[in-house]
Structure 1
């Protein structure tokens, strides 16, 4: 099985990744924190990671307390996160937008219409080495075990994304 690649950068000096879920308080900030940690550990200084939600319900709020606790227990710091909403200008500002589930993917593609090709708006789970193309489930209405499941998915997937970034690293 071949490993997925990321689209080419718009600017060869930097690479911008946006991770998107519904409210930007659970899945996408967890993925953001983990991916940013993995990117920094790999020395990929040219890569910037951000997150957002397709909805505006939580703009300005911190991460869901259960998401933050799950990250903290695993050694990550999500305390600086503040929820934001994706806007139409993100299409031109980011090299790839990674949606947490199929509905987020549809919402992004609708928002960007013809501005962004399918290679630049994809599922985060396209890079999941265990279940390629998997949706990251929304743990919001469940218990703590849902947040642990999300963390496991975003960690292994972040490793694959970093591997893809490393393969395409500018020289």
Structure 2
């Protein structure tokens, strides 16, 4: 079973920390013991908390992202995690470039876990300003991931 999951977006201040927080809360509610983390492909926000409007939208749904801090994805992550989920094509391309030959983590696009949503990427609310829309999709994808892990 996949126990260690890493979510990856561009700056690690909106999508991936939201996915980390949502999946952590949902896994806990189901009694699943998972190791969940998030990272960004870029280093612009390392050490910063998630973006304020993203935290506010998540908080309104009961998800606390306040303790999370941005970090950049590292080569070691490909050995530390079982599954690394990218949020969009650019993230996937960056992860493929970084992936070492000996990396054991399975690499997938987060949206691939629930193709029935019709989404091919998780939109970045930093640019779209649709924080609730992003959370809607993240919740749907997180439920699909947990269902697959439990199956």
Check whether TM > 0.5. Answer: yes
RMSD over aligned Cα atoms = 1.6
Provide TM-score, normalisation by structure 2: 0.94
Q: Which residue matches 1:42? A: 30
Of residues 106, 111, 136, the one that matches 1:120 is 106
The runs of 5 or more residues in structure 2 that have no matched partner are none
Q: Which residue matches 1:19? A: 7
Q: Which residue matches 1:158? A: 142
Is contact 1:129-1:160 (8 Å) kept? no
Distance in 2 (CA, whole Å) between partners of 1:86 and 1:113 is 13
Matches within 5 A, 1:32-111: 32-45=20-33, 47-111=34-98
Is contact 1:128-1:134 (8 Å) kept? no
The runs of 5 or more residues in structure 1 that have no matched partner are 1-7, 10-14
Number of positions where the alignment pairs a residue of Structure 1 with one of Structure 2: 151
Which structure: larger Rg? 1
More helix by share: 2
Provide TM-score, normalisation by structure 1: 0.83
Question: Secondary structure of the equivalent of 2:13?
Answer: coil
Distance in 1 (CA, whole Å) between partners of 2:53 and 2:14 is 8
Any runs of at least 4 consecutive aligned residues in structure 1 with deviations exceeding 6 A, and if so which?
Answer: none
Is contact 2:48-2:70 (8 Å) kept? yes
